Amino acid sequence: MPYTEATLQLLSVDGVLVESDRTEQHRALVDALSEQQLRDFYREMVVTRRFDIESGNLQRQGQLALWVPSLGQEGAQVGSAFATREQDTIFPSYREHAIARIRGVDPVAILALLRGHTHGGWNPNDSRFRLYTIVLSSQALHAVGYAMGTAMEGKSGTGDVATDEATIVYFGDGASSEGDANEALVFAQSYQSPIVFFLQNNQYAISVPVVRQSRSPLYQRGEGFGIESYQIDGNDVLISYAVTKLALDDARSGKGPRFIEAQTYRLGAHTTSDDPTKYRDSAEEEMWKTRDPIARFDKFLRAKGAQDAFFADVKQEGEDLAADVRRRLLEHTPPTIDAMFDHVYTDEHPLMIAQKAWLVDYEASFGGDR
């Protein structure tokens, strides 16, 4: 299956650290992590999965129009998110819920988007976690432009990794075929922009298997553009952390863009409107469950001495979050007419003023009977 000889891995599917010459640098980064940091990795994966399940329930109960699960992809997301530095900017696709949470975005803001209250939901200038982008790979070009600007401002490549900025953009195996993904790679390499392309290969673009997007491993796409590229076990949170951290530091140091293909699997559906039984068999799903990022990290932490109380505590945190987001979602204020007209333009616009005034008057003419 998709793990190849090129696939970098630190934590085996059995939760045991793997020795390899190719991962010495990565191992050193992981060895430097504190017990608390390792536990945070676990906590974020588990709590986000619980949030994910609760969100699916909310959709089934008619409280969300749609849900986009990240189930199974927590390792790739949590590891790479913890690899970012505070000054880094993240351009997500639309399934990066774990990363959003780690960067301080309120999970209810994500649910508000899927409840039909907003197309955005949070201020990206607060979190440096940009808004979700629905059209595949559009954000790859935005991210490259942002990174080009970083370099122009001299905010990268000064040699101080503590302050130099980098950008990371998330996209997927399906999105890799879009023209914008390829143009983004051209611009990034041409301008040697401080950016990391993080491709979560979850094996399917809704129903179409990755082999339809590419006959060769996707990390070779990056190499084809002359970009240093890696393939990692995306369900290994430790390698995701270490490879992304080195790639971001290379990028911020002015060494040019980097490309990471994380081999992972969407254990759930593409969205709640999808039915995976129509295009993949249960044997494949069962096989990927054995590679689950949380299960193997659970074993790893227990072997390091984590006690039941810790795991119970994390589980409770997930339950608390689920209850909290459910409560706050149901209380979330729906948008008004203002939201439709007020921010189409930044500067005053006569048509927006006229059409909004007309609609307000029209609605008022019913005297509240509508």
Partner 1 sequence: MTENLSLAKAINRGLQRAMQDNDRVLLMGEDIGTLGGVFRVTEGLKNEFGENRVLDTPLAESGIVGTAIGLAMRGFRPVCEIQFDGFVYPAFDQIVSQLAKLTSRHQGDQSFPIVIRIPYGGHIGAIEHHQESPESYFTHTSGLRVVSPATPNDGYHMIQQAIQSNDPVIFFEPKARYWPKSDVDTDGTSAPLHQSRVVRTGTDVTVVGHGAMVAMLLDAAEVAAGEGISLEVVDLRSLSPIDYDPILLSVEKTGRLVVAQEAPGGTSLGSEIAATVAERAFYYLEAPVMRVSGFDVPFPPAHLESLFLPDVDRILDAVDRARGY
Q: How far apart are CA 73 and CA 45, in angstroms?
A: 9
- Footprint (CB under 8 A) of partner 1, residues 350-369: 350-351
Is 124 a residue that touches partner 1 (CB under 8 A)?
yes
Cβ atoms of 192 and 151 closer than 8 Å: yes
Q: What's the Cα-to-Cα distance from 307 to each of 39, 50, 214, 237, 314, rounded to whole Å?
A: 11, 20, 44, 20, 11
Closest listed residue to residue 181, CA positions, set 211, 151, 221: 221
Is 157 a residue that touches partner 1 (CB under 8 A)?
no
Cβ atoms of 130 and 51 closer than 8 Å: no
Closest listed residue to residue 340, CA positions, set 365, 359, 321: 359
From the list 8-16, 67-75, 177-185, 311-319, the region that binds partner 1 by CB under 8 A is 177-185
Closest to partner 1 by CB, 7 vs 167, is: 167
Is 343 a residue that touches partner 1 (CB under 8 A)?
yes
Closest listed residue to residue 2, CA positions, set 199, 203, 175: 203
How far apart are CB 335 and partner 1 at their closest, in Å?
9
Q: Which of 15, 120, 254, 256 binds partner 1 (CB under 8 A)?
A: 120
Q: Which of 5, 24, 31, 153 binds partner 1 (CB under 8 A)?
A: 153
Is 333 a residue that touches partner 1 (CB under 8 A)?
no
Q: What letter represents residue 7's amino acid?
A: T
Is 347 a residue that touches partner 1 (CB under 8 A)?
yes
Residue 314 pairs in a beta bridge with: none
Angle at 209 between CA 64 and CA 41, to 5 degrees: 60
Is 254 a residue that touches partner 1 (CB under 8 A)?
no
- Which residue in 270, 291, 296, 326 is the catalytic one? 270
Closest to partner 1 by CB, 15 vs 124, is: 124
Task: State both tokens at 12.
Answer: 């085996």
Is 118 a residue that touches partner 1 (CB under 8 A)?
yes
Is 190 a residue that touches partner 1 (CB under 8 A)?
yes
Instruction: Answer yes or no: 266 catalytic.
Output: yes
- Residue 67 φ then ψ, to 5°: -130, 145
From the list 44-52, 150-158, 251-259, 314-322, the region that binds partner 1 by CB under 8 A is 150-158
From the list 135-143, 217-225, 261-269, 311-319, the region that binds partner 1 by CB under 8 A is 135-143
From the list 56-64, 121-129, 286-294, 315-323, the region that binds partner 1 by CB under 8 A is 121-129
Closest to partner 1 by CB, 22 vs 343, is: 343
Cβ atoms of 214 and 221 closer than 8 Å: yes
- Residue 324 φ then ψ, to 5°: -65, -45
Provide the 10 A C-beta neighbour count for residue 100: 24
Instruction: Answer yes or no: 270 catalytic.
Output: yes
Q: What's the Cα-to-Cα distance from 362 to each of 37, 357, 369, rounded to whole Å?
A: 56, 8, 12
- Which residue in 97, 266, 291, 296 is the catalytic one? 266
205 three-class SS: strand
Q: Which x/- pattern over 292-311 shows residues binding partner 1 (rule: CB under 8 A)?
A: --------------------
Active site residues: 266, 270, 279
Which residues of the shown chain bind partner 1 in the complex (CB under 8 A)? 118-120, 123-125, 130-131, 133, 135, 138, 140-150, 152-153, 179-180, 183-184, 186-187, 190, 339, 342-347, 349-351
